[in-house]
Amino acid sequence: MFRGNHPAKVDEKGRLKVPSAFKALLDAATVTQFFVTSTNGKSAEIWPLPEWEKVEQKLLKVSALDPAVEQYLNLVNYYGQQVEMDSQGRILLPQLLRTKAKLDAEVNVMGKLKFIEVHNKEIFEKEQLPPEGISLENKQKVSGLLNDPE
């Protein structure tokens, strides 16, 4: 499971060095192939290919004629590319996504359990971090999900 925030920089060639905490997890699972994509053009999602293939298997079971599925597939494939981590632990972020999400300097590399999400640091802190933290409504919703017996 990927967790935490690991500030990093994207180099001039568009490569992101995977933070050591995440790289250790990937090495343990012998993962070197990834699907890098986005559902909003504001951030990059870096999926280990085996996890992304699970998503694809679930999508195969639903109709591509469903407008929500079609929109999802259009977005993830528009921004997405399969990439390989190089010997120095770097992943090339797709040019189209780098440009759209402004992933060209300092970034936040955050664990999202099954994948890694990359945000432009300045934009994320300005636009996506609520100054008051999580809302009471969302806190109650998450609490309900976490307290739901399995």
CATH number at residue 32: 3.40.1550.20
Residue 128's pLDDT is 84
Residue range 25-53, pLDDT digits in tens: 999 999 999 999 999 999 999 999 999 99
Q: Which domain holds residue 40?
A: 5-147
**What are the beta bridge partners of residue 117?**
45, 110
Q: Number of structural domains, the chain?
A: 1
Q: Residue 77: pLDDT above 70?
A: yes
Beta strands in the chain (DSSP E): 5-9, 15-17, 33-37, 43-48, 81-84, 90-92, 106-111, 116-120
Quick one: 49 exposed, middle or buried, by C-beta within 10 A (0-12, 13-18, 19+)?
A: middle
